[in-house]
Structure 1
Amino acid sequence: MARIAFDMDDVITDTYAAQRKWLETTYPETTKFADGRKFETFLSDVQHNHFWEMLGEGEFFGEIQPMEGAVETLRELNRRHELFIVTAATLFPKSCIHKYNWVQRHLPFFNADNIVFCANKSVVNVDYLIDDHAENFVGLEGQGLLFDAVHNRDSPYPDRIESWAAVRNYKF
């Protein structure tokens, strides 16, 4: 049995799609962009600040949809492995309760004692951490697996996971 940790934003939840939807609704005149563009490349300073203020309020994180295949795969892995959610919610402290409630609503089988809110993910003692930011693997005792996301497509990090289907098929 492996101990596997998963990041929440852009791994379990489709945060990029939710952010894009918010931006297109809030700033439809300026957010006509091609898939794959980072938001900071087309937002004005005022828009960028408004975007970060919205994230800081926290409620946004409770309404994000799960990534395709995430819930089913986590349910399946939960039968064979010890799972953790390790999310940097402390960067947006007001998001913690919303993320916790999201897990309760979408992953009712998940052990609530295994939800970790921390920015330094190297503190978790796991065999694997699946995250969309390679810098979260620094100091990690286990194996980091970089989950594919718009913002990390240029990362040279070698151990990548492209989708939840790939997570399901990974040999933990």
Structure 2
Amino acid sequence: MGITRIVVLLYLLSSLCQAATLTSSSHSSNPNRTDLEAAIEDMRAKSFYGFAILLQMLNATTQLALRDITFFIPRDAQLSNISIAVGRLEAFVFSHFIAMPLQFSDLIRFPTGSMVPSGVHNRMIRVHNHGRAHFLVNNAEVTVPNVCATHTVKCHGVNRVIDYGHANLAS
């Protein structure tokens, strides 16, 4: 009877350890999943499918590590109104981010007129800060703040494709 108890106890202990391992791995982030992949999932969850697809296409064709950034992501309706040449995909996506991971509460601290470098060399994003209800980056108003908020990638939905004036980065 003593050996049976030990076997049962070892079985229960083994089962308990396996359950604890499975629980902890399901609650922790997948170590193979990047912050960018998590951000893409967040975009999809909030119906920003078009930009999520563009990021997946870019991620599949480049070895770029998109981290420590804030994306300004247009809605699908705005993306459907433009055409993006395959060779311009990177420039288009890069024109919609800044190289700082900022929550909306951080963004609204920028005073109106602040110039922040975009992900495209020599392209600046001008901040127009009229409070939480009316915050613009160039011509695009932030309408859905904090779409994604991983550690290194933040995203905010905007009501249009960011315009840089005469230089069109889409075509």
Report TM bin, short chain.
Answer: under 0.3
Q: Radius of gyration: which is bigger?
A: 2
Q: Which has the higher contact order (CA 8 A, sep 6+)?
A: 1
Higher helix share: 1
Scaled by the length of structure 1, the TM-score of the pair is 0.24
